[in-house]
Structure 1
Amino acid sequence: MKKIYFASDQHFGAPTAELSFPREQKFVQWLDAVKIDAEAIFLLGDLFDFWFEYKTVVPKGFVRVLGKLAEIRDSGIPIYFFVGNHDLWMHDYFEKELNIPVYHNNQEFTFNAKTFLIGHGDGKGPGDLGYKRMKKVFTHPFSKWLYRWLHPDIGVRLAQYLSVKNKLISGEADVHFLGEDNEWLIQYCKRKLETKQYDYFVFGHRHLPMTISLNPNSQYINLGDWIGYFTYGVFDGVQFELKEYK
């Protein structure tokens, strides 16, 4: 009866630490609830609204979330973390301190003979060319080297300011389903199916909880977010469901 749980796009720290705190508490409560029957937990990116690892410094805060993840991992439950577009500068802190593997690209998994392709979802599909160019610049080693020369008090504050200026991330914008032909992640999944069959494509990034049938044996799932929806995915070995944590 063990289950596999998925969650994405918590954006802790946005729009301010004070306003983010109740959402952090709710997420910790969810972790406490699912650890009872969890075979594994997948976190699909943007856990933080900003994250950058200096050589000896990480952003201040998030102690309850990090402590709960450490507790669950120490109990023997695997946790997998996928880097999102807001924590793309994550390096090895989770791996060294929490024993949680960090993935920067999509990964394939098989559970109970069901195949999964899992990732955050940013920069996938035919569009979003501006972001794809920006991501290449941000993830270039020279860019990260330059940023490390900023004092953490300046670098973190600057990044947080720029991040919350995006109304989507601060939760102030309404997100709409664009239709299958205009949803880049759906188009990405359909193209992947041309070369290989997957039972489930599981992504975040869009902040919209949705389940779309791609063919009779394949589904695209977007996990929504923990800003307005508080949704998560659960696979019980037979089927995948999206649920809301209340």
Structure 2
Amino acid sequence: MITISTSTNKKVYFASDQHLGAPTQETSFPREKKFVAWLDEIKKDAEAVFLLGDLFDFWFEYKTVVPKGFVRVLGKLAEIKDSGIPIYFFVGNHDLWMNDYFEKELNIPVYHSPQEFLINNKKFLIGHGDGLGPGDKGYKRMKKVFTFPLFKWMFRWLHPDLGVKLGQYMSVKNKLISGDEDAKFLGEENEWLVLYCKKKLTEQHYDYFIFGHRHLPLEIKLQENSQYINLGDWIQYFTYGAFEKKFKLIEYQQ
């Protein structure tokens, strides 16, 4: 478990689901600029930054090639990391094919499953959130296929011009991948991540569960001292999390 303690007037920041590149590079460019502006603001008082997946709407790493674009956000992340501020990246269902590019080029660790962190003596469970809890069986089956080593090996043999174009098309069009059908609150009893968190609480205590994926800013009290937070997105809500002594969900207004 990684322990983080904030210095005076410093905060830990969280953001998720920017989906850069969707539905096209051109239309997502203003979102990229807005997200980069946010990164530029928080670097002034950030103790650490957590990015909880789906930064890109599609991402695939060939041995020597990554998708074209996103230079502003990648450059800003490199700047923040080089300044000494830790960044933790969790893959989402749209960028689950991320391997070691962030680690080698940006020195940013990449996680493929939820991880525990102790932040200012509060216990966090942090991840993207896809495929957790009951239900979502169609996506779970699809994820097994997408993460199967043979399938990734076969996809890598597609020329990048074809592979990236195909991946971008599937990412935008396929609802099992995009999650568009889940863009409304289903009630606590039907929210798979809420049910997942409640089950985890029967095993051990967490003060905060922080996830993305649902594209909805949510703050749900699970127990007296335990809360589920969903960070929303940077498509409609432009929300992020900030933690010092308490967690706050905030709308970014540029």
Q: TM-score, normalised on structure 2? A: 0.94
In the alignment, the residues of structure 2 paired with residue 168 and residue 14 of structure 1 have an alpha-carbon distance, to the nearest angstrom, of 16
Contact 2:103–2:109 (CA under 8 A) maintained in structure 1: yes
Pick the aligned partner of 1:124 from 124, 132, 148. 132
Tell me whether 1:66 sits opposite 2:74 in the alignment.
yes
User: Residue 239 of structure 1 corresponds to which residue in structure 2?
Assistant: 246
**4+ runs of 1 displaced by more than 3 Å?**
166-174
User: Residue 157 of structure 1 corresponds to which residue in structure 2?
Assistant: 165
Q: Once the two structures are superposed, what CA deviation does each residue of 1:6-26 show, in whole Å capped at 9, x if it has no partner?
A: 000000000010000000000
Structure 1 segments unaligned to the other structure (5+ residues): none
More deviation, 100-109/158-167: 158-167
Letter in structure 2 aligned against 1:153: D
User: Residue 59 of structure 2 corresponds to which residue in structure 1?
Assistant: 51
Letter in structure 2 aligned against 1:164: V
Pick the aligned partner of 1:175 from 173, 178, 183. 183
User: Residue 223 of structure 2 corresponds to which residue in structure 1?
Assistant: 215
Q: CA deviation at 1:133?
A: 1.2
> Percent identity at matched positions?
77
Cα distance change on mapping 1:192 and 1:172 into 2, 3 Å: closer
Contact 2:138–2:176 (CA under 8 A) maintained in structure 1: no
> Secondary structure of 2:229's match?
strand
Aligned residues: 245
In the alignment, the residues of structure 1 paired with residue 249 and residue 34 of structure 2 have an alpha-carbon distance, to the nearest angstrom, of 17
Cα distance change on mapping 1:133 and 1:172 into 2, 3 Å: closer
Q: CA deviation at 1:114?
A: 0.2
Pick the aligned partner of 1:6 from 5, 8, 14. 14
Q: CA deviation at 1:174?
A: 8.0
Q: CA deviation at 1:173?
A: 6.9
Query: What is the root-mean-square deviation in Å for CA atoms of aligned residues?
Result: 1.5
Letter in structure 2 aligned against 1:192: K
Aligned pairs for 1:174-213 (under 5 A) are 175-213=183-221
Letter in structure 2 aligned against 1:245: Y
Letter in structure 2 aligned against 1:53: E
In the alignment, the residues of structure 1 paired with residue 166 and residue 78 of structure 2 have an alpha-carbon distance, to the nearest angstrom, of 29
In the alignment, the residues of structure 1 paired with residue 180 and residue 193 of structure 2 have an alpha-carbon distance, to the nearest angstrom, of 23
Contact 2:94–2:178 (CA under 8 A) maintained in structure 1: no
Contact 1:15–1:170 (CA under 8 A) maintained in structure 2: no
Q: CA deviation at 1:85?
A: 0.2
Q: CA deviation at 1:181?
A: 0.5
Q: CA deviation at 1:164?
A: 1.3
In the alignment, the residues of structure 2 paired with residue 74 and residue 86 of structure 1 have an alpha-carbon distance, to the nearest angstrom, of 26
Cα distance change on mapping 1:168 and 1:24 into 2, 3 Å: farther
Q: TM-score, normalised on structure 1? A: 0.97
In the alignment, the residues of structure 2 paired with residue 226 and residue 171 of structure 1 have an alpha-carbon distance, to the nearest angstrom, of 15
